[in-house]
Amino acid sequence: MPLPIATIDKLAFGGNGVCRIDGKVCFVPFSCPGDEVSLRVTAQKKSYCTASISEIIHPSPFRTVPVCSIFGACGGCNWQHVSYPAQLEQKRSILAETIWRGARVPADLIDDVVPASSQYGYRSRLQFKVSAGNGKLRIGFYRQGSHKVEDAAEGCPIAAPVINQVLACCRSVLQSYPGVESISQLSIDAGDSGVVVVIHHDGRAASKHRSYFIDRSGDFGPCTGLFLKTDNQPNGEKLWGSSEISYRMNRADAEQNQVVLTYPPGGFAQVHQLQNISMLSVVRRLGGFTSTDHLLDLYCGNGNFSIPLATEVASVVGIEGNADSIRAAEFNRELNKVANAGFFCDDVASGVRRLVDQGRSFDAVLLDPPRSGAGDAVSGIVRLQPNKIIYASCDPSTLARDCGLLSGCGYSVVRSVPIDMFPQTYHIESVTLLSRS
């Protein structure tokens, strides 16, 4: 029986190409819009199927050669075979289609994607999985659909160069370490002030780990701080060096000094600092903040937006559920001498309800929730009756759901700006402005 032949129409959130076989939607990994391919069906579902490429009959003009030698095996990047302009076009289309389906937002309200100036070498934070057995050490990423580690022997092309330098040093140190089987992960964070490594282990032989890595402190290259952590430790134990990881964000007035923001080892920060700055610029532009505005920043993290925006508004209140992030936000507030901001550790939905009960009011609400979105907090946000809501999202589906909920409560999408925070992947960051009707 001949294999079906199809032309890939577009890319979907999740990374797969989309075509039709006998009228049924088919998802095809590592395909490119415009590819003519013969397919081998791998799974049949009621409303769709999946297939692998048996042969590329006519490659798409948007196809390009992947940079990474383990692309396709590694579970990280999935679009290195797609030219960068085509990636941007597909991301805008995915965002536009998703929020039209979920909230009936017209496509003409979606801006072009803010491109990244560097499509490789941009990530300042990475977690490398470690596997040792049969005399072979693997440090890299899980293979597609498995928990087997694909060895990134040459480093990771999307990582900042200094991360790859430190990774090579870590590999050399671990290669000769007899207790390497107890190491599961290396977390490497690169900031303006240095590079911090957190070694994750299973809790066995902690004293041996300490002595070995302290003795080898001179072998970690440009690493400026080393931590040891088990899964049941909320914070890692510092073995040597500095724990400081910092980066800079712009104030609105170019003549003012930049703010310096820090976060703890293993804590959360955006992985693409240049695009983080771009996102702040979009938030600032869409928000149109004034010196009389009272701003509420939900899921505020370490004050990533709150601290640089504080000088532009009358006051800022930040709420975040992660205690380490709130401690970092308070430290950053003091570091930058910000007097008109306050940060509170609370579940965001309950924190908003508390503000409602206190009779607080805000001119603008800024939120940057996790992939699960802000569903539980939406009703409370509406009760605060802000004039505008600025919603930073990393997931088009939950953004669409929440915009639909807000639309039913009298808020309309004015503009949505996609930002390419993660080149070579399907992930889409965006900032959306909603205003009260």
Mind telling me the catalytic residues?
A: 394
What is the phi/psi pair of residue 157, to 5°? Answer: -65, -25
C-alpha separations of 101 from 56, 106, 236, 404, 407 in Å: 32, 10, 43, 9, 13
Name the helix (H) or strand (E) containing 327: helix 323-335
Rounded (5°) CA angle 24-90-269: 120
Radius of gyration of the chain from its Cα atoms, rounded to whole angstroms:
23
Q: Is 7 exposed, middle or buried (0-12, 13-18, 19+ CB in 10 A)?
A: middle
Amino acid 176 reads S
Rounded CA-CA distance 30/17 in Å is 7
| Pick from 148, 212, 208: nearest CA to 174 | 212
Helices 396-407 and 84-103, axial angle in degrees (round to 10) = 30
The two tokens of residue 168 are: 């090579």
Rounded CA-CA distance 262/193 in Å is 10
What is the phi/psi pair of residue 375, to 5°? Answer: -50, -45
Burial 91-110 (b: 16+ CB within 10 A, else e): bbbbbbbbbeebbebeeebb
| Pick from 95, 153, 166: nearest CA to 432 | 95
